[in-house]
Structure 1
């Protein structure tokens, strides 16, 4: 591990709350708008393809930002950055693994978030799985 301090749970949870608002906007523009246009033309898509659309759209959003600076907009606001456990920028497969591990980590009653209460470094379960950590962003 590097000398960059790990971010506290409170700041990470506050950032996640803000992230929910941004994700809502991403889904509104990238999911609902195209679906509304297709429905207006009388075209429908199967529910499985709709879920795949959501998963891929959000994966594109998160993985892009994590690989290009290690921060989404809420993470920048809360001065947080995602890095590998050794402090380096994420590798592409590592970012995808974190994204995919976060789904069950959050959707299974938040077990991956609650994991931080017993983790020795207070890291979320999906960060442990992917070998990542959320650190405080050093002042520029």
Structure 2
């Protein structure tokens, strides 16, 4: 029986293109994940992203002020501030590029970040394929706007007829829930 949307009558699959035989996920798709599953995946990813950005900050900090990394008995102080070059727009752009590469790498590779894997969520374009780099960049930038607006872009899912957020719509991508594998569930 075809899936039902919460806002419409059942839709017929007549005339729909058959699913690819080699697409193992296409047979086991569920609807889009809810807001709280998305947020839980984001929390997982933020911890990993923080570690990546921390290391990425140490690299230019070391080259711009190596004396900050050398302990000397004469200078028994702690560095509390980064050099001015690490506080400007170039540094912020550098971090933004790293964030885009972080998410883009995972989304282009498997459609999932580590948090998305833990919460069984997968990102696809509207055709069910891996998103392009352009879609990844748009998604990261609009997701930042969604968060900056107090999370309104995420809460929008409750109002949208397809349960899509602002960045889903802007990047022409969709998140899908992946059901638990029944074989693995029986073993545990």
Name the TM tier (shorter chain). 0.7 to 0.9
Q: 3-state SS of the aligned residue for 1:57?
A: helix
Q: Is the 8 A contact 2:45 2:115 kept in 1?
A: yes
Question: 1:138 and 1:92, CA in 2 relative to 1: closer, same or farther beyond 3 A?
Answer: farther
Match of 2:45 in 1: 19
CA apart distance, 1:8: 2.4
Match of 1:40 in 2: 65
Q: Runs of 5+ in structure 2 lacking a partner?
A: 1-15, 17-25, 68-82, 182-188
Which consecutive segments of 4 or more residues in structure 1 shift more than 2 A? 1-4, 38-44, 137-140
Greater alpha carbon shift after TM alignment, 4-13 vs 19-28: 4-13
Deviations 1:78-123 (A, max 9, x none): 1111011232221221112111211111112212112112111222
Deviations 1:6-57 (A, max 9, x none): 2222211111111111111111112x21243134337752601111011001
Task: Indicate the structure (1 or 2) with the bigger Cα radius of gyration.
Answer: 2
**Structure 1 residues 1-140: aligned runs within 5 Å:** 4-5=29-30, 6-30=32-56, 32-41=57-66, 44-45=84-85, 47-137=88-178
Flag the structure with higher helix content. 1
Q: Report 1 or 2 for greater relative contact order, CA contacts < 8 Å, sequence distance ≥ 6.
A: 1
Greater alpha carbon shift after TM alignment, 93-102 vs 130-139: 130-139
CA RMSD of aligned residues (A): 2.2
- TM-score normalized by structure 1? 0.86
Q: How many residues align?
A: 139
